[in-house]
Structure 1
Amino acid sequence: MPLLPRSTPAASGMSSRAVGALLDQLEARSVECHSLMVVHRGHVVVEGWWTPYSAERVHLLYSLTKSFTSVAVGLTIADGLLSLDDRVVDVLPDHVPADVSAQGRRITVHHLLSMTAGHDPDSLDEAWRLEPGDLVRGFLRVPFANAEGTRHTYDNSTTYILARMVERVTGRSLPEFLDERLFQPMGIEGAEWDRVASGAAFGFHGLHLTTEAVAAFGELLLRGGVWGDRQLVPREWLDLATSPQIETLPLPNWSENPDFLRGYGYQFWISRHGYHGRRLRSVLRGRTVPRTRHRPHRRRRPNRRPARPLLGLPPTGPGQPGQRSGRRTARGSPATTVLHPRTRLSAPVSLGARDDRRLR
C-alpha cells in the first residue's frame, strides 16, 4: 500500500516544464542520481528510478540516517528519559575512560546533537584507532581542539554516541525503537541498518529505506510530526532540531555549496530554503518536498554513462552502477513519463487540462 497518495503535476499546480528543467540541471551538473521523487501538497507528483534501482529497493541513506537518530533522541526527551543537559559520562558511565578530561566530562546531549563537542577534525577515525571496540570511550579520549559549544565540526562519532544513549535509556536498540515509534505507525516496512561488529547500529550512517519512505519522512517533518491523526514526533522537537543551533564553516574538500553555510541544527543542516540531510535533499519549509538520491558530491568520470540515457526503456547491458547500461525509468503519477534522448518529454508528465503539452 502506498505511503503517500498520487497526483499529477498539473493537478497540483506544478508545470511539467519544471520537471524537465530539473532533470536537465541534474545532467548538466553531473549528479549521479539513483532515484527522484517530488511531493507537492502531500501528493507524489513525479517519481523515477535509474537502473538498477527501483521503487521497492531500499537504498543506503548515508548521513541522512543522522536525522532519524535525531528524531529518536527527541522522542526520548519527550518521554522524560533524556534531556539536552544530560552528560555522556552520566548516561554511559561504563564507557568513560579513567583519565577522561574535564571537557569530556562536560559534553552533553546538546553538544552531541549540534556537533559542538570541540573535536576538530571529525574524531571518528582517531576514536576507532584508540578504542576499536568502544567508540564512546575512544571519542572521550580524543583531545579536544575547541571549547565545547563554540564551534561546529562535522563529527560522526557524536551521532553514534547519541544512538547508544537512546538505547541505554529506552532499553531498546535504535532500530527497534524507531520501528516501534516511527516506522510502524507510518506504515514503513523493510528498513535495514548497517551495524558495527558488536551488532549496534551506526546511527550516523547505514539506514536503508525506499525512496517513498524517505519522502514520507520528509512529509512527516513538514506536517510538524503528524501522521494521519497521530502526533508521532513532538512539533516542538522538530522546530528545535531544524533551527540553527550553531553557525557553520566551509567543510574541507567539499564542493562550494551555500546550503551548508546556513548553520546546523540537531543533526539537520539548515539551508537557504529549509533544511536537509547531508548528501540528500531532504525538506523545504514550503509545500514542495523534492527527493533525490545520489552519491557524494564529486564529478563523474568521462563516458561513465551515456550523456543522455533513455528513461522508461529496459536496460540492454549488465545494469550495474557505473556501467554504460545505466538507463533510467521515471514516471509522473499517475500518468507515465517516458524521457527520450536529449531529455525532452515526448509524453506529458500530466494529462491534466492545464498542463497537457509536450516539452520542445
Structure 2
Amino acid sequence: MDSETLADRLARAVAQGRVPDLHGVVVAHRGRVVLEHYGEGEDFRLNEPLGHVRFAPDTLHDVRSVTKSVVGLLYGVALAEGRVPEPGEPLLRHFPEYPDLARDPRRAALTVEHALTMTLGLEWREEVPYTSPANGEIAMELAPDRFRYVLERPVVEEPGVRRSYCGGATALLGRLIEKGTGTALEDYARARLFEPLGIERFEWSTGADGRALAASGLRLAPRDLLAIGRLVLDGGAGVVPESWLAAALRPRVRIDEGSCYGYQWYVGDTWVGGFGNGGQRIHVTPARDLVIAVTAGQYDLPDQPTATVVIDEVVLPGLAG
C-alpha cells in the first residue's frame, strides 16, 4: 500500500460525502484482512424498516440480489451430488405440475441454463421500484404460485440470446434445489455452504408460501460476504466444485461494455462479483488476490454509487500490485 492507508482513504471519502449510506466494508488482500469499517444509518429488512442501526461485525444485513449468486453456488453443489438437472436439460421437464405450460413448444424449449443466465426470453420487468406490484419480483411474490407465475409469463423473444434481469429465474433454480434435495433451501445452504465456511448466523426471508426468497432474501454480515468471495477466489475451497465455478464464472452473455453474466454471477475483464440493490457487493479480483465485501443502504435509489466508489476509488487505487 502507499503511504496513505486504506482506512485513511476511506475516512476521507466518508468525510467528503462520497460514500453515502455506507454500512460496512471488509477487504482481504493476499489472504489478510487489510480494511474493516462499519457505519450507521437507516436500514431495512426488504421493505420492513429497521430504524437507525449502528453496524458491527456481527450485524446481519440484507444482501438483496447477492442472494442470487449464493443460489448459483448452491446449484453447483447440488449438481455435483446428482440432485439437480444439468444446465442443458429442459426446464419444464422438472416442473411436471404444469403440464399445460409444457405443451407450449416455445416454453418446452427453455433449459435450466436459460434460468442460470437469465436468458429465458419471458416478459419480465424489474426496472420499477421493489415497492411496486408492477415489479416482476414483487408480482411473483404476490401470486398464488410463484413458480407458475414465472413460467407462464409471455414469451417475448428467443431464449438464450439476451440477458433480461429476472428474479424469477433464480426462484426457479431455488425450487429445483429444493425438489432435488428434499430440503428447504435455507437448510441446504446451512449444511452445504455456510457451516463449511464458518458462517454461523444468517437469516433468509420467506414468502407467503413459507419458502425462502431465492432472489433476494438473504441476510449476512460483511465478513460472511468476504468468506463467500474468498471461496470463489480459492476455486471453491473444497466446498463448491472447482469445475462448477469455472462454468459459473465464464462470461456467457454480455450485459454492457464492461460486464457479462455467467451462472448468477457478474463477470468483468479482471473481476467477478455479486451485486445487490442498495449497494451490496462481493468483488473478487483473482489476479490481485483481492476480495472486497460492501454493504450499504441505498435501496431503490436511481443512483447507487457507494459500493463503486469504495471499490474503484478507495480500495483498488490504495493497493499496490
With the shorter chain as reference, the TM-score category is 0.7 to 0.9
Aligned-partner Cα distance in 1 for 2:7–2:269: 21
**Percent sequence identity over aligned pairs:** 28
1:201 matched to 2:190:
no
Instruction: Count how many residue pairs are aligned between Structure 1 and Structure 2.
Output: 274
Shift of 1:236: 1.0
Q: TM-score, with normalisation over the residues of structure 2?
A: 0.78
Q: Which residue is equivalent to 1:33? A: 22
Amino acid at match of 1:268: W
Aligned-partner Cα distance in 2 for 1:213–1:134: 32
Aligned-partner Cα distance in 2 for 1:287–1:278: 19
- Find the partner of 1:20 among 5, 8, 33: 8
1:277 matched to 2:274:
yes
**3-state DSSP class of the match of 1:166?**
helix
CA-atom RMSD in angstroms: 2.4
**3-state DSSP class of the match of 2:147?**
helix
- Find the partner of 1:262 among 256, 259, 265: 259
Aligned-partner Cα distance in 2 for 1:63–1:241: 16
Aligned-partner Cα distance in 1 for 2:18–2:268: 19
Counterpart contact for 2:101–2:151, Cα < 8 Å:
no
Shift of 1:136: 1.4
**3-state DSSP class of the match of 1:56?**
coil
Amino acid at match of 1:139: V
Q: Which residue is equivalent to 2:243? A: 236
Distance 1:201 1:40, change over 3 A: same
1:114 matched to 2:103:
no
Aligned-partner Cα distance in 2 for 1:198–1:126: 15
Amino acid at match of 1:83: E
Amino acid at match of 1:281: R
- Find the partner of 1:44 among 15, 27, 33: 33
Q: Which residue is equivalent to 2:130? A: none
Q: Cα deviations across residues 121-163 of structure 1 (Å, max 9, x unaligned)?
A: 4376289469811121111221121101011111110000100
The structure with the largest alpha-carbon Rg is 1
Shift of 1:16: 4.3
Shift of 1:244: 0.6
Counterpart contact for 2:101–2:107, Cα < 8 Å:
no
Shift of 1:22: 4.1
Aligned-partner Cα distance in 2 for 1:23–1:271: 28
**3-state DSSP class of the match of 1:47?**
strand
Amino acid at match of 2:38: W
Distance 1:23 1:118, change over 3 A: farther
Q: Which residue is equivalent to 2:48? A: none
1:105 matched to 2:108:
yes
Counterpart contact for 1:96–1:140, Cα < 8 Å:
no
- Find the partner of 1:75 among 74, 77, 87: 77
Q: Which residue is equivalent to 1:168? A: 179
Aligned-partner Cα distance in 2 for 1:96–1:43: 53
Aligned-partner Cα distance in 2 for 1:58–1:127: 23
Aligned-partner Cα distance in 2 for 1:101–1:248: 28
Q: Which residue is equivalent to 1:92? A: 95
Counterpart contact for 2:6–2:35, Cα < 8 Å:
no
Distance 1:173 1:277, change over 3 A: same
Unaligned 5+ segments in structure 2 are 41-53, 127-134, 305-321
Q: TM-score, with normalisation over the residues of structure 1?
A: 0.70
Whichever structure has more strand as a proportion of its residues is 2
Q: Which residue is equivalent to 2:129? A: none
Amino acid at match of 1:183: F
Distance 1:126 1:271, change over 3 A: closer
Aligned-partner Cα distance in 2 for 1:129–1:187: 33
Q: Cα deviations across residues 57-81 of structure 1 (Å, max 9, x unaligned)?
A: 1111010000110011111211122
Q: Cα deviations across residues 71-127 of structure 1 (Å, max 9, x unaligned)?
A: 111112111222112222111211454575322112111000000000244376289
Q: Cα deviations across residues 248-289 of structure 1 (Å, max 9, x unaligned)?
A: 14xxxxxxxx6xx42101101112431111233312223111
Distance 1:132 1:97, change over 3 A: farther
